[in-house]
Amino acid sequence: MVQNKSLSPKEIVDQLDRYIIGQSKGKRAVAVALRNRYRRNKLPQEIRDEITPKNIILKGPTGVGKTEIARRLARLVGAPFVKVEATKYTEVGYVGRDVESMIRDLVEVAARMIRENKQGEVMQRAETVVEKKIIDAVVAEKKKMATDVPLDILRQQTMVEYKDGKLDNFTIEIEVADVKKPDMQMPMGMDMNIGIDIGNIFGGLMPRRTKRKSMTVAKAREMLVSEESERLIDKDAINAEAIQLAEENGIIFIDEIDKIASAGGGNGPEVSREGVQRDILPIVEGCTVQTKYGPIKTDYILFIAAGAFHISRIQDLIPELQGRFPIRVDLQSLTKDDFYKILTVPENALTKQYADLLRVDHVNLVFEDEALKMVAEIAEQENETSENLGARRLHHIMEVLLEEVSFNATGKKPMKTVTINQKFVKDNMANLMKKTDLKKYVL
């Protein structure tokens, strides 16, 4: 079974702290919402039905961690996760029930998780079966060479050689499935989303065809193991488990929700925006959606919506939808202190990423604290004077900062140390700084 951890809200926040700086209100909100779903799930059916799930709206400017919080949360608890942009459904060509595609995508993600998990489980068994088949084939091949070694000894030798990988390039003949699928045309206009795999249906009805092929042991092993594990996996169980995983643990992140809220009446785009809200409503309220894995109930899926709400307000969403998102959290703009921490604290902090990348080319990057404080300050200033990109600004600045080093790293030994100090920042950021008004305070 796919891991299905039930962490307490505090444990969740502690884990999120490893990756996301600040935003403690946002982290608490998602942690509590997730735990509430778990609590609700443990209640008797009658009570459970009476408690409506509490979805969340994260409100805040760009690049402050809205998506990151939701994504990390999902990864932390092994929940299937999809992110959709609400505006996508206002585009031409999207009507009505296409909103349901977010649910189908979620089930698809869940199915992939289950499948990977199962593959891991059956791998050992598949390897054992395949090993026997291959040894048989190798022994058959060796016998052709008129050896007088007794059969049991020959098998034993072969087994040892096989385990040592000495037979990898030995050519054998084996039976493999003839994978040619019946060639069939999809009728035009058929909805590929509902996606029934015609090849599979007919493939299942037709007798399994095999053919003899000669190939190396290594290749045979690869093919047979994938064939065998495919056979060992119970497809119906995957479908059922995928539905269950998505139903009970799924998280859907609806981005740009503010863009489908309408400020003021009118027709035209307004109508379609409100239309999208009305389409989303039943999904958030709990309904049943058909997927190729079976029907799924959306009642327990956790929805996290996000938006900047610069132009529209949360109150501009239709009341029914607002009611389904009772938890509202304002995420804060990030300051230079946050930027400094973002550069250094998270396990995947940018400075660590660049250091890892350049170490491959034998460059040892050493970041001095003072230099990083300067970078943080530049980021804050750039966000104020030009566009506010939030933490995304750091990605840009770091790229500019290290462009030269990155370009000149050749991979030659020995390891060379490059220290990023304040002077380095000044020298390498000169171009960027000319454009803005930074000289006054850093240089």
Ligand X SMILES: Nc1ncnc2c1ncn2[C@@H]1O[C@H](COP(=O)(O)OP(=O)(O)OP(=O)(O)O)[C@@H](O)[C@H]1O
> What residues make contact with Mg ion under the rule CB under 5 A?
67
Q: Which residue's CB comes closest to ligand X? A: 65
Exposure letters 377-393 (e unless 16+ CB within 10 A, then b)? bbbbbbbeeeebbbbeb
Number of residues binding to ligand X, judged by CB under 6 A: 18
* The only residue of 64, 225, 276, 302 in contact with ligand X, by rule CB under 6 A: 64
* Pair 415, 355: CB distance under 8 Å: no
- Is position 252 an interface residue for ligand X (rule: CB under 6 A)? no
Question: Can you say how many angstroms the Cα of residue 189 is from the centroid of all Cα atoms in its chain?
Answer: 30
Print the SS3 string covering 132-181: HHHHHHHHHHHHHCCCCCCHHHHHHHHHHHHHCCCCCCCEEEEEEECCCC
Does residue number 26 form part of the binding site for ligand X (CB under 6 A)? Answer: no
With binding defined as CB under 6 A, does residue 283 bind ligand X? no
Contact present, 73 and 249 (Cβ < 8 Å): no
Minimum CB distance to ligand X, residue 59 (Å): 10
* C-alpha distances out from residue 157 to 133, 134, 151, 166, Å: 15, 13, 10, 11
d(CA 261, CA 263): 7
Q: Does 68 bind ligand X (CB under 6 A)?
A: yes
Task: Tell which one of 23, 277, 351, 428 touches ligand X (CB under 6 A).
Answer: 23
CB of 343 to ligand X, least distance (A): 9
CA distance 146 to 151: 12
Span interacting with ligand X, options 66-74, 266-274, 365-373, 416-424, rule CB under 6 A: 66-74
Closest contact distance (angstroms) between CB of 332 and Mg ion is: 15
Residue closer to Mg ion (CB basis): 67 or 157? 67
Other Cβ atoms within 10 Å of 364 Cβ, number: 13
Task: List the alpha helices (DSSP H) in 206-306.
Answer: 217-232, 235-249, 269-285
Residue 97 as a binder of ligand X (CB under 6 A): the answer is no
Which one among 63, 247, 274, 420 touches ligand X, defined by CB under 6 A?
Answer: 63
Choose one: 7-15, 57-65, 75-83, 285-293; the region binding ligand X (CB under 6 A).
Answer: 57-65
When the beta carbons of 68 and 368 are compared against ligand X, the nearer one is: 68
Which residue from 102, 103, 342, 363 is in contact with ligand X, where contact means CB under 6 A?
A: 342
Binding site for ligand X (CB under 6 A): 20-23, 62-68, 255, 308, 342, 346, 390-392
